[in-house]
Structure 1
Amino acid sequence: MIKRILIALDPDEDTPIATQYAISLAERNDASVTGLAVVDTSNIYPTGIIGDPDQTHHARNLWEELTDNSRNVAGRLLEKFESSVEKSGVRYTAITQEGASYDRIIEGMKYHDLLVVGRDSHFFYNEPKQETKTLAQVVKNGVSPTLIVTHHFEEVHKVLIAFDGSRPASRSLKSFAHLSPFGKDLEIELLHISKTDNDDSESSSETILDFANDYLLEHDFKNVTQKFMAGDKISEAILKRRKEIGADLIVLGAHAVSAIKRLTFGSTTHELITKTDSPLFMTP
């Protein structure tokens, strides 16, 4: 059950779509929505030379100017958010906080059931195109599931759950079943991908999928099918299958970890976030 939804606001093209998804979910679940704008002062550094009064004064003025600019951006984001939710009649709260964006968002996740965010969000209002690690840090270290949206809105009727039996995948499966954000009347396909294509792999896959299928059935999801695929490129296989069945949502675990991977996501997760045309539901 979803009762509180958090939207992390950012001046990117995805944020209005994230707001639209959050409003739709709030209407379906009789939930409230919180719009959060973060003035990320951790990314604004004074550059003066210690001991040089002129340089220090200049740096201080620059820091204040950049911070004020970020506050102005935050204010405009909240105005747009409030305008959208007021039209819908959904209950809402709009807040601004200052500090490191990932810290403030993760703190907000503690008291919300779901975070909705755009995949292009960077949360550095002074340089909105600057790539940051915020999204990865939030998804991996947050305490609630995250719905990562793309550039367009679609009602969710068909769901692809990429399930490999791992802990992250299991947590995402359970969170999706418990929250039921899009209701129970969904077409769901459970997908298991193996790097080898033989009888043993398929048998192992069937066992994993059967357990996941039984779990979903117990949670009143009645229209569930299973699919086994083989391939080295897991992300490509997931995206290919999503396109084949026309899934409106992909559910998967937030596999993470190498700091040398782009955005600190694992390669499969990064590829999916970058290339998918549908939202991703992820739990750390």
Structure 2
Amino acid sequence: MKKILLVLDAAHVDTEIIHFACNFATLSHSSLTGLFFGNYEEEAPDTKMEFGAPYIEEPPVYSAGPNITLQQLEDHITQFKRSCAVRGVRCQVQFNNNSYGSESVIEESRFADLLIIKASATRERKWKDTPTPFVKDVLAAAECPVLVAPNSLAEIKEIVFAYDGSRSAVFAIKQFTYLFPELAEKKAIVLQVNKDDDMPVTEQDHLGKWLRLHYSSIGFKVLQGKATEALFTFLHDRQHTIVVMGAYGRNGLSELVKPATAAFKRR
């Protein structure tokens, strides 16, 4: 992996997610690109008259509504660069003027190896539910793997592969493994929700053989019940866990995103 894309609100410096992304960039020896999103419009400069001729008293100023100025934006970008430099992470900054929707994030994801976004990222300052509509749009259409970051930084000690037997789930497992070979020593659990008690022997055998080539410790866990509810119950109190799921997990993601759990999703 070479390029990680980090989605950042240009109006607010979130040091936690920057530190989180820097840790992954350090782990994978990747560069980190901060994609600042916002709705910026150029304000018309004040024009005055003197000696019968017009002149501009102040240079043009950019704003993102009442909450940010050009100086604040530059300060936030500087802080991002400084945080990366302190951790020895190579970084770049991208900002698209007048781009406040998910479309620009999705477009940039086409040329990234991994996209990191916080579940609370939003265009609406007062949106309380997570993941927000903005994040859901990104998850639905992103063209690279997406890592939904937790609200607080925590060391990853365990990987849970949510598995439903689909090609999407297997692809997500492979993609995560290829992106983060450095996590090979972490405990890996294949978690499946079935009506029956057991995972089909053939699938467990094939998947187990493949995983043992990449991880030093693996296990299988089968739950019964509705997938979303069973996953939530299993993951609710687990700490330092990253959850890997394919596209099937998109609808249930809102119930799985908790402060101590990061979720990795691949379309």
TM-score normalised by structure 1 residue count = 0.74
**Matched AA of 2:170:** S
Cα deviation digits, residues 86-145 of structure 1 (max 9, x gap): 2112110122113243111112212221111111001x2xx4224752211211211111
Matched position secondary structure for 1:129: coil
Alignment partner of 2:223 out of 229, 240, 250? 229
**Matched AA of 2:9:** D
Cα deviation digits, residues 215-257 of structure 1 (max 9, x gap): 2223x2121111111112x23322332356645211112337x
- Tell me the equivalent position of 1:281: 264
Larger Rg: 2
Percentage of pairs with the same residue: 23
Residues paired across the two proteins, number: 242
1:169 and 1:253 in contact (8 A); partners too? yes
Call closer, same or farther: CA 1:157–1:12 in 2, change over 3 Å: farther
The CA RMSD measured in Å over matched residues stands at 2.8
**Matched AA of 2:34:** G
- Tell me the equivalent position of 1:271: 255
Matched position secondary structure for 1:197: coil
Question: Within 1, Cα distance between the matches of 2:248 and 2:165?
Answer: 12
**CA deviation after TM superposition for structure 1 residue 279, in Å:** 0.4
Q: 1 or 2, which has the higher helix percentage?
A: 1
Matched position secondary structure for 1:255: helix
TM-score normalised by structure 2 residue count = 0.79
Query: What 5-or-longer segments of structure 2 have no aligned partner?
Result: 42-61
Cα deviation digits, residues 10-55 of structure 1 (max 9, x gap): 279994322112111111222111111122469xxxxxxxxxxxxx
- Tell me the equivalent position of 2:208: 213
- Tell me the equivalent position of 1:30: 29
Query: What 5-or-longer segments of structure 1 have no aligned partner?
Result: 43-63, 257-264
Matched position secondary structure for 2:209: helix
1:163 and 1:192 in contact (8 A); partners too? yes
**CA deviation after TM superposition for structure 1 residue 76, in Å:** 4.4
**CA deviation after TM superposition for structure 1 residue 269, in Å:** 2.1
Cα deviation digits, residues 62-82 of structure 1 (max 9, x gap): xx8655855646444423312
- Tell me the equivalent position of 1:107: 107
Matched position secondary structure for 1:135: helix
Question: Within 2, Cα distance between the matches of 1:133 and 1:203?
Answer: 34
- Tell me the equivalent position of 1:168: 168
- Tell me the equivalent position of 2:247: 254
Matched position secondary structure for 2:261: coil
